[in-house]
């Protein structure tokens, strides 16, 4: 993705050839994943890049300057107070002489300091002093990654134009499971290559403008601050359930309706947390976006975002996940492999029945028949306050138009055919009336 955008860099077919002859300033932070930075250095050198390594004080607890310097074939910088460098304005030059700054691993602490403009060691000073593009590759414990403070910092960094990759999901060194693992080295290489492309080409490849992502939060439109002081949570898009490292089960949800609702909530003055599955949509102005991949990531991110005043669960969450294979399943003589499915958590139902239940819980129901009866049953089963029901038999997925019914204990209202933006505006008005 682009600078300041979210993070699925692997989707862009950037060729590593762009890396050749470039200078990468590599900041290695302190974390168990620091050893993978050594592998990254090897790959960068193999691709013909020059690597200028910077090791933080905590990074040096995990890898040695000796091994980093040997692989990079360059002197490792560790301290701001290197007099020789300071005499020649070393850190300013250092930060500007590179084509790209890569922070790998980017720890929660280093991201927090960068997000708040601190300059209390060499790494943070370089990040503050630079006008060179910055790519951060986070790695940390799953709770630390999902913590609202880290997510705020990530959103801030992305808003400032830094590319922050989403960490991978999996078993962690600390024994937990979830998002937080350092991206695989080939994915980091693809992201580096992508960030070295000229901005114009990158925009063409990714299909939307860098500038869009840098739009500052819009103040609520005048007279439309009805939700000021309210916190709204929106889920949107599909989820992807990994079959093996290269395949997944997904669905056709585009995320457009959920993003339109998040945008309308922000325009009405609400604080909005948008938890988005894998979609290629720009973040609406003023919205804090958390990108997730699987239903379980989404459930954890929703849990971490509570309490809120209103939850609007628009995401098309996969009902089942697959028992994921650790390596790519090969075609063999034994015929097609069996996929063992396990039921995913029902996020809407757990939010509506949980201790932190928002005052207003709204679900969506995509149905292909018996719309009102199905939605009414869903309202009771999930303990939601309202269900927005839509008939998806006529190609709503990915379209800009929608035809919904609002189903509540009071009955069903037909809202007629409307654009997704109109549905969003009407829903937000109803939410403001109800709260």
Q: Which residues bind ligand C5P (CB under 6 A)?
A: 235, 295, 313-315, 317, 319, 344, 346-348, 363-365, 378
Phi, psi of 256 (to 5 degrees): -60, -45
Is 198 exposed, middle or buried (CB count within 10 Å of its CB: 0-12, 13-18, 19+)? Answer: exposed
Query: At closest approach, how far in Å is the CB of 351 from ligand C5P?
Result: 7
Query: At closest approach, how far in Å is the CB of 145 from ligand C5P?
Result: 21
Query: At closest approach, how far in Å is the CB of 410 from ligand C5P?
Result: 19
Q: H or E segment at 137?
A: strand 134-138
Closest Cα partner for 164 from 7, 36, 298, 44? Answer: 7
Name which of 319 and 422 has its Cβ closer to ligand C5P: 319
Number of Cβ atoms within 10 Å of the Cβ of 270: 30
Name which of 18 and 310 has its Cβ closer to ligand C5P: 310
Name which of 196 and 317 has its Cβ closer to ligand C5P: 317
- Quick one: tokens of 59? 């990074």
Strand intervals (E) in 352-434: 360-367, 386-391, 401-408, 411-419
Closest Cα partner for 148 from 5, 304, 358? Answer: 304
Name which of 283 and 344 has its Cβ closer to ligand C5P: 344
- Quick one: tokens of 371? 């719309």
Query: At closest approach, how far in Å is the CB of 277 from ligand C5P?
Result: 10
Query: At closest approach, how far in Å is the CB of 105 from ligand C5P?
Result: 31
173, 174, 201, 246: which one is catalytic? Answer: 174
Query: At closest approach, how far in Å is the CB of 371 from ligand C5P?
Result: 12
Name which of 196 and 384 has its Cβ closer to ligand C5P: 384
Query: At closest approach, how far in Å is the CB of 355 from ligand C5P?
Result: 17
Residues 146, 6, 105, 110, CA torsion sign: negative
Cβ pair 188, 196 in contact under 8 A? no
Angle of CA points 336, 342, 346, to nearest 5°: 140
Residues 138, 143, 147, 149, CA torsion sign: negative
The packing angle between helices 34-46 and 65-72, to 10°, is 10
Beta bridge partner(s), residue 414: 405
Name which of 1 and 317 has its Cβ closer to ligand C5P: 317
3 state DSSP class of 177: strand
Q: How far is CA 219 from CA 176, 268, 281, 292, in A?
A: 40, 9, 21, 27
Is 174 a known active-site residue?
yes
Q: Which residue has the tokens 């993705």?
A: 1
Q: How far is the C-alpha of 26 from the C-alpha of 55, rounded, in Å? A: 8
Name which of 308 and 347 has its Cβ closer to ligand C5P: 347
3 state DSSP class of 269: coil
Cβ pair 107, 58 in contact under 8 A? yes
Known catalytic residues?
Answer: 174
């Amino acid at each position: 993705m682009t600078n300041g955008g979210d993070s699925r860099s692997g989707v862009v077919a950037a060729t590593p050839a762009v890396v050749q002859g470039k200078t990468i300033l590599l900041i290695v932070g302190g974390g168990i994943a620091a050893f993978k930075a050594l592998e990254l250095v090897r790959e960068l050198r193999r691709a013909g890049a020059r690597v200028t390594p910077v090791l933080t004080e905590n990074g040096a607890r995990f890898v040695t300057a000796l091994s980093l310097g040997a692989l990079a074939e360059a002197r490792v910088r560790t301290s701001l107070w290197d007099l020789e460098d300071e005499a020649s304005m070393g850190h300013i030059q250092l930060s500007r002489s590179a084509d790209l700054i890569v922070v790998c691993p980017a720890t929660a602490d280093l991201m927090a300091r960068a997000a708040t403009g601190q300059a209390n060691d060499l790494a943070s000073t370089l990040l503050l002093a630079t006008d060179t593009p910055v790519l951060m590759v986070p790695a940390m414990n799953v709770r630390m990654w999902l913590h609202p403070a880290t997510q705020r910092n990530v959103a801030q960094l992305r808003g400032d134009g830094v590319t922050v990759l989403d960490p991978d999901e999996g078993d962690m060194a600390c024994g937990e499971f979830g998002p937080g693992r350092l991206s695989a080295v080939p994915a980091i290489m693809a992201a580096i290559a992508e960030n070295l492309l000229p901005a114009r080409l990158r925009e063409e490849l990714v299909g939307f403008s860098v500038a869009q992502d840098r739009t500052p939060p819009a103040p609520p439109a005048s007279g439309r601050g009805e939700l000021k002081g309210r916190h709204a949570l929106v889920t949107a898009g599909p989820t992807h359930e990994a079959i093996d490292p290269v395949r997944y089960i997904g669905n056709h949800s585009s995320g457009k309706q959920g993003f339109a609702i998040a945008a309308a909530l922000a325009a009405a003055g609400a604080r909005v947390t948008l938890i988005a599955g894998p979609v290629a949509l720009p973040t609406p102005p003023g919205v804090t976006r958390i990108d997730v991949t699987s239903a379980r990531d989404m459930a954890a991110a929703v849990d971490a975002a509570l309490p809120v005043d209103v939850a609007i669960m628009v995401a098309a969450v996969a009902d089942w996940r697959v028992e994921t294979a650790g390596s790519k399943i090969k075609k063999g003589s034994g015929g097609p492999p069996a996929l063992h499915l396990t039921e995913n958590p029902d996020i809407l139902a757990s939010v509506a029945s949980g201790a932190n239940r928002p005052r207003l819980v709204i679900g969506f129901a995509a149905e292909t028949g018996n719309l009102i009866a199905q939605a009414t049953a869903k309202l009771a089963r999930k303990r939601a306050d309202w269900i927005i029901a839509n008939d998806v038999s006529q190609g709503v997925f990915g379209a800009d138009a929608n035809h919904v019914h609002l189903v509540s204990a009071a009955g069903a209202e037909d809202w007629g055919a409307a654009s997704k933006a109109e549905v969003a505006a009407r829903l937000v008005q109803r939410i403001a009336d109800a709260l």
